[in-house]
Amino acid sequence: MSTCASCGTEVGDHDRFCMSCGHPRSGGHTCHGCGGELAPGARFCTSCGTKVADPELPEGPGYVVDGEWHRAPGEFVRRIPADQMRSAFARILPGVDLDAFFRGTLVGKLLDTVTAKTIRVPAGSVGVVMADGICQRILPPGEQTTVDWLRDLSSVLSGDLVGAAAATAQRAYQGVGFSFYLLDRRPIPVSFTHDVATGGGALTTVRARTLISVGSDRDSLGTFINDVVRERDGLSAQDLYGRFRADIEQIVTDALAASGGALPRAQAESSKQLAARLGSHTGLTFDVSLAPQATIHRLDLRVGDAPASTSTPCGGCGTQVQLGSKFCIQCGAEQPSRAELPSDRALFTQDGVAVELDVVLSVQGTEPPSPPSELIRGAAHRYLRDRDWDSVVSTEGFSALEEALRTTTSDALAALGVRLMALDLVDLRSQAGEWALNARAEMARATSEAMVGREWLEIEADKLELQELTLAMALRQQQTQRDHAFSQREAAIADARRQADLDEAERQIAREQRRAVHTDAMASGSEAHARAVAAAAQRAELAEREARLQGDLTRQQAEVEVEVDELRRRARLAELKGLAALEAEVSDREHRHQVEKINAMGDRSEAQILALQATELADQQHGGAFAEALSKLADADAVRRERERADERLDAKDARVMQLMERVVSAAEEREAATRTAYRDAADSTRLMAQTAVESHARVAAAKAAMIPCPGCGAELPAGAQFCGGCGSQLAGESSR
């Protein structure tokens, strides 16, 4: 636990911000996204990856440079002179700072007069433009322009030169009366406590908290600047706190006294009086909240963490008896259970398991109470002495133990004037084992880390998506610009080509017209001569063509007669050659028939030859009997061949059966060999188990040789024991023997 440097409230070791005022726990620079500490000069947070600005702590009062407000710690209001505001003219040309180039020159003074002034309003603040004590404009956060000079420029472009000149002259005349202010909109807290009588002589401490903020309308802002800020260049939150603290405390105290301790009525009356007495002439709003003073204290206790002994002295003879024994092995006296034994800090269950508890309490009170360790230990001792370890670590047993501790502790703390807000049994364990709920705590931490990682990934995904959208928009804009430029260029080229075609067509028409005029002039003088020459040429051509046709006809008639004679001679010669070829073909066909018949009989069997002869004889006279006999011989030969094929199929089947029998015999031999190997391994295992059993029995017999049985209950006892530790029976000693 540590103390907040801003309000003094205790801050947990794992908390990064104060739960009361939100101030960072670390004294150095922190990330505005996750609150992690930043190294000097870091540009990115090493915990969440958020881009951070270089830490900047201005010394002294706030200042404005080049239109940017560098706020000092606690600065609430800052007046901005006109020479500290940036000129809108400086951003007309990208990448060229004309304001810095012309600053201090005659041109710069002229530009400052006719152009607008801009300033960057920080986040959480507003800009106020005052003219002769009246609020003219309220500028939200961002880069703002005090006067719309573009409107004057549009008037010039539209031809309203008189209106633009009048507006420029009016701005130059009224420029001295304008003033600009930057105001912080964050509220200023004013807190104090007051004791109120609640009846019966009791006092209740009431915590009053008032938030001072500036109104959002023009009237409130103008009233605040005129009546509170006045002619000062700056105003801090500490100045407002010191001015209104006493008045606020007096008004709230009077309202509490008049209401008799009724907080809702006192809160309403305080708000009404603050608005009437302070808010009406300052332009400020006062938000009052009244609540009883209550401080939550957290206590972390470890109960039962003392080392537990393994033996305890016997109440009868004083001999050390092992914990868990019901009787003393020397005198036979009955022993109490482990949970009933007196102990300073150790806790035991009914079955003798030492238990350690981790308890966290949240109590409400004006002062942190002392840790009630003994109270919780006593409540846990009363609960654990009647239950074994298995019932305690179960879900129902854990909840019942927590409820028992909560009931007892709440009643005891209420008697001390402290209220128990919560009691959590964080974990429990046996002193010989691990924490029972350690796995659950690890799972919760892993889940929390996974959730944080997922949220960080979602933020990064949103950033990447935004960058992707930005790039897509830029690309789409570039494509649109390129397509527009291409379309304009194509239109210009098409217009140029169209104009060139029109010019060429006009020149061609002019040439044709000149040629037509020249031709008409020459043709008008020699038209008759040309007709006579053409008629004479035509007659000569007709006569020449007639003579040429007559000679061609005579030559063709002679050629036809020669061709007819040649065709007749060739036809007679072809007829003689065809007759000779036909006679030779008939002779060859008879010869080939005889040869084929002889070859066919040589390739066929006797039955086929007989059948063929029978067929030939059947066509002849008196050949039917020979044909029938030859047919029977052919049928007998077909039956013989069918029997031969059946014998071949039987031989193939016998061969396949022999192959299958050989494979079956081989598989049987392999199975018999595997069976013999398994029998041999089983025999070795049985022999090894018998040998192990014999050795185990020998060790047990050797161990039992050093023990003596109890005649009453049969329990094994050391050789020198005189009484049984289980039933208390006296053993026969040396004297009885």
pLDDT tens sequence across 256-289: 888 877 888 888 899 899 988 888 888 888 888 8
Tokens of 239: 């100045």
Exposure string for 405-427, b = 16+ CB within 10 A, e = fewer: bbebbbebbeeeebebeebebeb
Band of residue 94 on the pLDDT scale cut at 50, 70, 90: very low
Q: State the Cα–Cα distance between residues 461 and 471, nearest whole angstrom.
A: 15
Tokens of 660: 């299958």
Q: What is the DSSP letter of 35?
A: -
Band of residue 474 on the pLDDT scale cut at 50, 70, 90: confident
Q: State the Cα–Cα distance between residues 632 and 618, nearest whole angstrom.
A: 14
Contacts of 193 (CB under 8 A, 6+ apart): 205, 206, 207, 208, 293
Distance of CA 492 to the CA centre of its chain: 51
In degrees, rounded to 5, the angle at the alpha carbon of residue 295 between the alpha carbons of residues 294 and 301 is 140
Q: State the Cα–Cα distance between residues 36 and 15, nearest whole angstrom.
A: 10
pLDDT at 35 (0 to 100): 63
3 state SS for 159-217 = CCHHHHHHHHHHHHHHHHHEEEEEEECCCEEEEEEEEEEEECCEEEEEEEEEEEEECCC
pLDDT at 407 (0 to 100): 84
pLDDT at 676 (0 to 100): 73
Q: Which of 320, 248, 318 is nearest to 285 (CA)?
A: 248
Q: Which of 199, 368, 369, 192 is nearest to 291 (CA)?
A: 192
Whose tokens are 């031999």? That residue is 669
Q: What is the pLDDT of residues 346-375, one digit of tens each?
A: 777 877 777 888 888 777 666 666 777 788
Residue pair 117/82 in contact (Cβ under 8 Å)? The answer is: yes
Q: What is the DSSP letter of 344?
A: S
Whether the predicted pLDDT of 58 surpasses 80:
no
3 state SS for 123-136 = CCEEEEEEECCEEE
Q: State the Cα–Cα distance between residues 115 and 148, nearest whole angstrom.
A: 9
Q: Could you tell me where the beta strands, DSSP code E, fall in 365-479?
A: 419-430
pLDDT at 735 (0 to 100): 36
69-83, 606-620, 674-688: which range is least confident on average? 606-620
Q: What is the pLDDT of residues 593-648, one digit of tens each?
A: 655 665 665 556 655 666 666 666 566 555 555 556 556 666 666 667 777 777 77
Bridge partner residues of 322 (DSSP):
311
pLDDT at 251 (0 to 100): 92
Q: Is pLDDT larger for residue 206 or for residue 523?
A: 206
Q: 3-state DSSP call for residue 13?
A: coil
Q: What is the pLDDT of residues 699-721, one digit of tens each?
A: 656 655 557 778 777 777 776 77
208-222, 494-508, 722-736: which range is least confident on average? 722-736
Bridge partner residues of 70 (DSSP):
63
pLDDT at 365 (0 to 100): 66
For the segment 534-560, the average pLDDT, to the nearest whole number, is 75
Question: For the chain, what is the mean pLDDT?
Answer: 71
